[in-house]
Structure 1
Amino acid sequence: MAHVGIIGAGTMGCGIAQCLAASGRQVVVVDPEASALASGPDRLRQGVRAARLLGRGAGAVPEEILSRVRWRERIDDLDGAGFVIECAPERSAVKGQVFRALDAHCPPETVLASCTSAIPIGWLAAHTGRPERVLGLHFMNPAPLTAAVEVVRAAGTGDDALRLARELLDDIGKRGIVVGDGPGFVSNRLLMMLVNEAAAMLGAGTADAATVDRIFQDCFGHPMGPLRTADLIGLDIVRDTLLVLVEHTGDGRFTPCEPLTRLVEEGRLGRKSGSGFHEYRTAVRQR
């Protein structure tokens, strides 16, 4: 069985690597940043421990999971990968460059998937000579604890690539929900607008963060309101996703509002920093 490649040793990359390794897959995680690679194994170990505490993967042996993941700096270490999932920072230029490099180093049959939050898959596929092997696999955070993945099929995505992606998700116990291509797909085209509007309400004094979230929890049955959801995602990621949506839609309504921008500038990024729209006792270390 060919190994699966992951681009990016951050929180999402490590989370997806954990899902794959727990299912028995061999994984190679590539990141050019030495600090990210150095902290990756510890981040993965923490994820495995957290999953076991929550009753997920109780039958898996932690050391076996960790042993299936290798950490590398160079993208050409993926030349034997049958499937690659890109989790690079949410910047169009960065991801475009990654896809050009993957196309140059991976065999023609390798499926190239992006975990982008909002960049159109067709735009990424245009940076390769294999658009029929490119699709989106939008995992939600935290990847090991969520049941479904938004599968994005671009106009050029072939049937075989889609089949292989669904088989991979089945193997790791995830349900794939297929959607068409477009900025933000379904999830973030809707969610990011909601989060931005909710944050703008704070600035307008309409309600505080707890009240906004309570409306969605008690009136609509959401497990978390939009602002706690944003804190879980990371407010820097929310801001970056909104900027990508402005870039690829031209719609100014996605421009990050002032309260959200201010929190990011202050380093209040949500759960991972200990505070965001809400306060948290313990910061979760993330890249």
Structure 2
Amino acid sequence: MKNISVIGSGTMGNGIAHVFAQHGHPVSLIDISQDALDRALTTISKNMDRQVGKGIITEDEKNQSLGRISTFTSLEDGVKSADLVVEAATENMNIKLDLFRKMDEFSPTSAILATNTSSISITKIAAVTKRPSQVIGMHFMNPVPVMKLVEVIRGYSTSDEVTVEIMTLSQNLGKEPVEVNDYPGFVANRILMPMINEAIYTLFEGVAGVSEIDTVMKLGMAHPMGPLQLADFIGLDVCLSILKVLHDGFGNPKYAPCPLLVNMVEAGFKGVKTGEGFYQYTKGSKDIVVAPRFIK
């Protein structure tokens, strides 16, 4: 596969575009807003500058990589020459289904259609296309240029050939792909989200405070980041969405989102993206400060 189209220029989309371009692929980055695309290119450039500073790539390699990225506000124009389309839009079922109908209509019949979803059924997404055997999950981890894992999710109809091709492509990107089957939350979030939810319940029930919970997990379990800080980093709205998928998919009360998480999202406190979740975030500062409402 040569030509890659990436739909969505947010954190995950621009990271995916970055990695493909850096490994020699022409990339069409697609979003409804040119301003969003311009911000994405700025972010990619800054992230590549960090790589240059660390000696990972050269300045010339950075410029060549940026030159491989074209931007489009038209999905039809952006996917018409694609060998692989990677959808990295918001984690919303209806949005993804609508996008896959359009991806199926406008992209070449030979193209593989992938989604970066962290929890939504690949089988359900594939069912709205005329090529379910060519639909697959490519769940990259954030930040994409740094994290090695790609969760490769087979839908019910995904072919062996497509799975092998995506596994090989992921390896060629310098990633370590892991093949999993299509059940709610796959592997990563089926294990991670109940842990985060339990940490929120531990706070909600007054067992310990924010920094205490995170310190126990960092020092006791050797986690690089505590579960509450990680939830802020992922986005509390995203965590809630995934927990709802798990709860609906399995019908098991152990996946029910903590009421504190629900209230925080409804109140607009979604973590890093809004400047406050369990911690407060000041632009340009790396200090970790517990949000005032959690300080007794």
TM-score normalised per structure 1? 0.91
Q: Relative to 1, partners in 2 of residues 1:235 and 1:6: Cα closer, same or farther, differing over 3 Å?
A: same
Shift of residue 56 of structure 1? 4.0
User: Which residue of structure 2 aligns with residue 64 of structure 1?
Assistant: 64
Q: Distance in 1 between matches of 2:60 and 2:24?
A: 10
The alpha-carbon distance between structure 1 residues 127 and 259, as it changes in their structure 2 partners (threshold 3 A), is: same
Q: CA deviation at 1:266?
A: 4.2
Code of the aligned partner of 1:37: L
Partner of 1:26: 26
SS of residue matched to 1:103: helix
Superposition CA RMSD, Å: 2.1
Q: CA deviation at 1:135?
A: 0.8
Helix, strand or coil at the partner of 1:5: strand
Matches within 5 A, 1:213-232: 213-232=214-233
- The 1:227–1:31 alpha-carbon spacing in structure 2 relative to 1, beyond 3 Å, is same
Q: Deviations over 1:6-43 (max 9, x none)?
A: 01111100000000111111100111234422322112
Residue 25 of structure 1: SS of its match in structure 2? coil
Opposite residue 227 of structure 2, the aligned amino acid is P
Larger CA Rg, structure 1 vs 2:
2
1: CA distance between counterparts of 2:17 and 2:164?
20
> 2:192 corresponds to which residue?
191
Q: For 1:50 and 1:268, how far apart are their aligned partners in 2? A: 30
Gaps of 5+ in 1: none
In structure 2, C-alpha distance between the alignment counterparts of 1:256 and 1:36, rounded to whole Å: 31
Question: Any residues of structure 2 matched to 1:246-257 within 5 Å, and which?
Answer: 246-257=247-258
| Identity in percent | 36
Give the structure 2 partner of residue 39 of structure 1. Answer: 39
In the other structure, the counterpart of 1:9 is 9
| 1:250–1:94 distance in 2 versus 1, CA, 3 Å | farther
Paired positions, count: 284
3-state SS in 2 of match to 1:117: coil
CA distance in 1 between partners of 2:84 and 2:189 (Å): 24
Unmatched 5+ residue regions in structure 2? 286-296
Deviations 1:208-258 (A, max 9, x none): 121112222222222222112212212222122223333434445434323
Match of 1:201 in 2: 202
Greater mean alpha carbon deviation, residues 100-109 or residues 212-221: 212-221
Which region of structure 1 is more displaced relative to structure 2, 1-10 or 58-67? Answer: 58-67
**Distance (whole Å) between structure 1 residues aligned to residue 108 and residue 62 of structure 2:** 31
1:58 is displaced (CA, Å) by: 5.0
Query: Structure 2: which amino acid aligns with 1:147?
Result: K
Partner SS for 1:63: helix
User: In structure 1, the residue corresponding to 2:279 is in which secondary structure?
Assistant: coil
Give CA deviations for 1:171-212 in whole Å, capped at 9, x if unaligned: 210010111111110111121121122112211111112111
Structure with the bigger RCO (C-alpha within 8 Å, sep 6+) is: 1
Give the SS at the match of 1:143: coil
